[in-house]
């Protein structure tokens, strides 16, 4: 028995996604600018690790979380979870940037009900409060199929008077409505204090596949028929067009005569009427020949006796 072919896998254009991120952030995308999210400041090198701010030849990290005196434009503030934490033989002071991305742990596709995109996860070097592991960071590029600038330039981060960058849509995952759903895809032991960020962009959308279009039956009408339309099971852009809607017999309709059934019965009646009509014509022709022969024979006999 021939098995059904495997569904077409989801594909993501990482080249376009990285290019959009770099275009939107400019020099800040390469660690040469500070990015602020909900009051917290970060230096992010998406794929390239960058040196500790203010330290030439220092440690490298993909994500630096700024605290205290290391914060741009806001000196003297230290409210991070890891402030004044003993790390080995040294002490992490309020002014020390937190190294949350010493290496890229994973670049993975996310495909959950109603949520798709690409997540870059980083492993850090700072202790996780209340856990044996360490703090890390992640950047989730969420597929946003409601905005289509696939063939236009993505939005550019604004730079305030302090020189701090602000990227529209960039937020903490914890404040997003999909936070609980996204958390289900995290590996066990993930630090709850990770710096998890999310950015919506259509460039994180995979092309639509045929299997992404699911049937959506409508309500059954008085004629026993319903309209079936197609809806997307997950966000995507491009790919095959939406299948055309169709009408079908309602499943489980009892005591309802459908249009198709009426059409079928009318065809049967027409055929039956044609057959009956042909039978009557044939029978009439038979009677005509029968009685014509009889009366013709009687007429010939009368002529013979009349002689």
- Kindly tell me if the per-residue pLDDT of 164 is higher than 70: yes
The kind and range of the H/E element at 300 are: helix 259-306
Task: Give the lowest-confidence range in 39-53, 55-69, 96-110.
Answer: 55-69
Q: Contact at 8 Å (CB) between 235 and 202?
A: no
Name the percent of the chain in helix, strand, coil, to the closest 5: 25, 30, 45
Give the containing element (helix H, strand E) for 265: helix 259-306
- Give me the residue label for tokens 């290019």: 19
DSSP β-bridge partners for residue 142: 117, 200
Report the C-alpha gap between 158 and 165 in whole angstroms.
Answer: 6
The model's pLDDT over 81-127, given as tens digits with 9 standing for 90+, comes to: 344 444 444 444 446 899 999 999 999 999 998 999 999 999 998 88
Return the minimum-mean-pLDDT range out of 202-211, 223-232, 287-296.
287-296
With residue 299 as reference, give the H or E element that holds it: helix 259-306
Give me the pLDDT at residue 110, please. 93
Supply the DSSP string of 174-240, one letter for each residue.
GGSTTHHHHHTTSPTT--TT-EEEEEEEGGGPPPP-GGGEEEEE----TTSEEEEEEEESS---SSS
Half-sphere exposure of 227 (CA within 13 A, CB side): 5
Judged against a pLDDT cut of 50, whether residue 76 lies above it is answered with no
Average per-residue pLDDT in the chain? 80
pLDDT of residue 222: 82
Quote the CA–CA distance of 255 and 136 in Å, as a whole number: 63
Residue 74 or residue 294, greater confidence: 294
**pLDDT average, residue stretch 69-89:** 42
175: which 2 tokens? 């404040």
For residue 15, name the pLDDT band (cuts at 50, 70, 90). very high
């Amino acid at each position: 028995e021939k098995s059904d072919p495997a569904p077409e896998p989801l594909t993501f254009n990482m080249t376009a996604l990285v290019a959009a991120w770099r275009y939107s952030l400019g020099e800040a995308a390469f660690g040469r600018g500070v990015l602020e999210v909900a009051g917290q400041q970060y230096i992010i090198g998406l794929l390239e690790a960058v040196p500790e701010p203010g330290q030439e030849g220092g440690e490298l990290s993909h994500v630096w979380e700024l605290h205290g005196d290391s914060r741009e434009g806001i000196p003297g503030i230290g409210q991070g979870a890891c402030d004044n934490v003993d790390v080995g033989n040294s002490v992490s002071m309020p002014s020390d940037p937190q190294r949350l991305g010493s290496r890229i742990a994973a670049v993975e596709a996310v495909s959950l009900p109603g949520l798709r995109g690409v997540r870059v996860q980083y492993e850090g070097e700072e202790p996780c409060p209340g856990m044996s592991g360490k703090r890390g960071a992640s950047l989730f590029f969420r597929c946003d199929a409601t905005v289509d600038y696939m063939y236009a330039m993505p939005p550019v981060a604004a730079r305030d008077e302090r020189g701090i960058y602000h990227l529209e849509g960039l937020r903490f995952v914890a404040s997003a409505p999909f936070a609980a759903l996204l958390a289900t895809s995290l590996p066990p032991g993930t630090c709850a204090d990770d710096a998890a960020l999310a950015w919506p962009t259509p460039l994180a959308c995979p092309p639509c596949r045929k299997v992404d279009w699911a049937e959506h039956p409508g309500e059954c009408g008085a004629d026993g028929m319903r309209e079936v339309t197609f809806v997307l099971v997950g966000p995507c852009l491009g790919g095959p067009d939406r299948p055309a809607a169709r009408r079908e017999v309602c499943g489980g309709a009892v005591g309802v005569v459908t249009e198709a059934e009426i059409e079928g019965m009318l065809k049967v009646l027409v055929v039956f009427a044609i057959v009956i009509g042909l039978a009557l014509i044939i029978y009439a022709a038979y009677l005509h020949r029968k009685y014509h022969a009889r009366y013709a024979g009687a007429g010939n006999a009368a002529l013979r006796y009349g002689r």
